[in-house]
């Protein structure tokens, strides 16, 4: 009996200890951020910056992290800058690259990953050398998840995947201009693929591109487009007389090709886009990558599981050089072609501007700051380009405190911004897509610009692209652009 009693006491003690542990664990969880094993339902702002990049804020324990989403990556990657003492064993992971050879990474344990306030479960991840903390989220964390990008608000949403038929019904309810395109899967590596056509003058080429949510700039292999008769940047530079003082040394090593159009379906895509050139022929049959510069001119839904790329933007009505835009059942207006979003940013405002109409010659979008009278005029300037141009800047930007200190100090107290007026001509002192400030007394101009498609300083890039396109027109004759389809 004593033995039985002891056994009973032991069982009770173990049970009490286990219950205490459950209570303690529950208290610990309630005291900290809740644990999640999914990103579904999360809405997160993109990391701020002039150019569109699909990166959101996060952290690994207490280390701030840049979280990049990659719908073509089978396993999450983390840089050594995120981890104090990475645990690495003998395990290795091999990841195929659509543009080249396989890469091999050691495997580590990634714990403490928080994305926009949500803590994710610990996982295994490939380890990459890097001093900054970057986590590239792969498809194992995106199962049953679709991505929705709103470029005008610079927001990324994670929503449940749906059958393709449901997306078609949803698209019909959106109004405006909407396209539901088909994503296929690479049979060996499972990359999401999209058929696209590129045009340069009279030459066209259609191929299977890998859809990239990781890269900012699109790329294409050299061999297939040379066979199609395309002319590369390097070819044209040899024939052009360019002012050397404006051209950086990087230009000599740059390989690219200026496209008149990149179409994701007939009549839908981006005009005037320069693609980086990848040497040689495609090793996996994928002719290139389509990145944010190609599809980021739209409000985008990417559902790889359903095989859907959904593109949406306001409806456009054109009468000569006059444009009106409208969403859903709205009455078309010129004002609806411009969108302005703002949030507080410490000293000033984080302002995002989107233009939903074509910019035949470029344009200037001026801003108004109610209640303030800065000694400078503030706005955004755009070079000639297609619809959906988008840029984001902190107003005042840091350099403005150096170039126009008094103006910057007044703007740093701003709590509201609104659209003032639009002019159909860019500000030549700030080539490309830029925020600008112009001193009302002296006319002095200060700019903060997006990196261009070639990754070069803006003035050099403008000179290069203007002359490249001029040379192409002389070589191939004028290109007649088709009119936008009637609404």
Query: pLDDT, tens digit, for every residue of 329-387?
Result: 789 999 999 999 999 988 899 999 999 999 989 999 999 999 999 999 999 999 888 89
For residues 4 and 168, the model is more confident at 168
User: Same structural domain for residues 298 and 332?
Assistant: no
User: Same structural domain for residues 333 and 450?
Assistant: yes
Identify whether 444 is part of a domain: yes
User: Same structural domain for residues 331 and 411?
Assistant: yes
Q: Find out whether 162 and 219 touch, Cβ atoms under 8 Å.
A: no
Apex CA 399: angle with CA 368 and CA 294, to 5°? 75
Q: How confident is the model at residue 36 (pLDDT cuts 50, 70, 90)?
A: low
Identify whether 122 is part of a domain: yes
User: Same structural domain for residues 176 and 204?
Assistant: yes
What pLDDT digit, counting tens, does each position of 441-470 carry? Answer: 999 999 999 876 555 554 555 556 565 556
Name residues whose C-beta falls within 8 Å of residue 262's C-beta, 6 or more positions apart in sequence: 196, 197, 198, 199, 218, 269, 270, 271, 273, 275, 290, 294
Identify whether 291 is part of a domain: yes
Q: What is the reported pLDDT for 476?
A: 53
Tell me: pLDDT of 25 over 80: no
Tell me: pLDDT of 11 over 50: no
Structural domain that includes position 301: 161-313
3-state SS of 259-286 is EEEEEEECCEEEEEEEEEEECCCCCCCC
What pLDDT digit, counting tens, does each position of 412-443 carry? Answer: 999 999 999 999 999 988 888 999 999 999 99
Q: Average per-residue pLDDT in the chain?
A: 85
- What percentage of residues in the chain have a pLDDT greater than 90? 68
Cα 443 from Cα 423, distance rounded (Å): 17
Identify whether 451 is part of a domain: yes
User: Same structural domain for residues 230 and 350?
Assistant: no
User: Same structural domain for residues 129 and 205?
Assistant: no
Query: Which domain-ending residue is among 264, 286, 313?
Result: 313
User: Same structural domain for residues 184 and 277?
Assistant: yes
Identify whether 286 is part of a domain: yes
| Number of domains making up the chain | 3
Identify whether 1 is part of a domain: no
Query: Which domain-ending residue is among 81, 116, 145?
Result: 145
Tell me: pLDDT of 77 over 50: yes
Q: How confident is the model at residue 54 (pLDDT cuts 50, 70, 90)?
A: very high
Q: What is the pTM of this model?
A: 0.84
Q: What is the reported pLDDT for 116?
A: 86
User: Same structural domain for residues 275 and 337?
Assistant: no
Q: What is the reported pLDDT for 15?
A: 41
- What percentage of residues in the chain have a pLDDT greater than 70? 82
Q: What is the reported pLDDT for 66?
A: 97
What pLDDT digit, counting tens, does each position of 186-211 carry? Answer: 999 999 999 999 999 999 999 999 99
Query: Which domain-ending residue is among 265, 290, 313?
Result: 313
Mean pLDDT, residues 166-172 taken together: 96
Name residues whose C-beta falls within 8 Å of residue 178's C-beta, 6 or more positions apart in sequence: 171, 172, 310, 311, 312
Identify whether 378 is part of a domain: yes
Q: Check which CATH number belongs to the domain holding 69 and give it.
A: 2.40.70.10
User: Same structural domain for residues 185 and 272?
Assistant: yes
User: Same structural domain for residues 332 and 442?
Assistant: yes
Q: What is the reported pLDDT for 135?
A: 98
Identify whether 327 is part of a domain: yes
User: Same structural domain for residues 240 and 350?
Assistant: no
What pLDDT digit, counting tens, does each position of 282-293 carry? Answer: 999 999 999 999
Tell me: pLDDT of 483 over 70: no
Q: What is the reported pLDDT for 38?
A: 82
For residues 224 and 25, the model is more confident at 224
Tell me: pLDDT of 33 over 80: no
User: Same structural domain for residues 205 and 271?
Assistant: yes
Q: What is the reported pLDDT for 460?
A: 54
Mean pLDDT, residues 247-271 taken together: 78
């Amino acid at each position: 009996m004593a033995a039985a009693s002891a056994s009973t006491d032991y069982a009770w003690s173990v049970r009490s200890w286990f219950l205490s542990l459950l209570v303690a664990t529950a208290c610990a969880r309630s005291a900290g951020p809740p644990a999640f094993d999914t990103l579904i339902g999360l809405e997160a702002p993109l990391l701020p910056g002039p150019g569109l990049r699909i990166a959101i804020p996060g952290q690994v324990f207490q280390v701030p992290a840049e979280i990049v989403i990659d719908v073509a990556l089978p396993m999450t990657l983390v840089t050594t800058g995120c981890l104090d003492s990475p645990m690495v064993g003998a395990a290795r992971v091999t990841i195929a690259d659509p543009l080249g050879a396989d890469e091999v990474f050691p495997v580590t344990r990634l714990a403490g990953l928080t994305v926009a306030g949500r803590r994710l479960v610990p996982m295994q991840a490939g380890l990459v050398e890097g001093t900054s903390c970057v986590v590239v989220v792969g498809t194992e964390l995106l199962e049953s998840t679709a991505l929705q990008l709103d470029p005008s608000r610079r927001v990324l949403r994670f929503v449940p995947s749906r059958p393709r038929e449901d997306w078609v019904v949803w698209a019909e309810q959106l109004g405006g201009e909407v396209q539901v395109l088909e994503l296929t899967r690479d049979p060996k590596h499972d990359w999401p693929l999209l058929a696209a056509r590129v045009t340069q003058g009279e030459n066209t080429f259609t191929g299977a591109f890998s859809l990239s949510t990781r890269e900012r700039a699109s790329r294409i292999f050299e061999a297939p487009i040379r066979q199609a008769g395309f002319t590369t940047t390097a070819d044209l530079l040899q024939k052009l007389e360019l002012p050397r003082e404006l051209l950086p040394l990087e230009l000599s090593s740059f390989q690219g090709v200026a496209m008149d159009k990149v179409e994701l379906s007939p009549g839908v895509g981006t005009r005037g886009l320069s693609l980086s050139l990848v040497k040689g022929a495609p090793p996996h049959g994928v002719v290139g990558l389509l990145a944010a510069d190609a599809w980021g001119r739209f409000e985008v839904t990417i559902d790889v599981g359903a095989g859907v790329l959904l593109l949406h933007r306001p409806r456009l009505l054109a009468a000569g050089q006059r444009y009106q835009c409208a969403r859903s059942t709205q009455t078309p207006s010129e004002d609806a072609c411009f969108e302005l979003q703002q949030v507080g940013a410490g000293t000033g405002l984080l302002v995002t501007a989107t233009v939903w109409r074509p910019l035949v010659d470029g344009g200037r979008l001026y801003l108004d700051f109610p209640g303030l009278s800065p000694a400078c005029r503030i706005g955004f300037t755009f070079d000639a380009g297609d619809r959906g141009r988008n840029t984001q800047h902190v107003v005042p930007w840091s350099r403005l405190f150096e170039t126009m200190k008094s103006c910057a100090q007044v703007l740093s107290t701003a709590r509201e911004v609104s659209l003032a007026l639009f002019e159909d001509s860019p500000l030549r002192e700030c080539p490309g897509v830029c925020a600008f400030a112009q001193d009302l007394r002296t006319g002095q101009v200060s700019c903060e610009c997006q990196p261009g498609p070639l990754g070069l300083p803006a003035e050099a890039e403008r000179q290069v692209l203007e002359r490249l396109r001029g040379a192409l027109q002389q070589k191939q004759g004028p290109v007649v652009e088709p009119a936008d389809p009637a609404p």
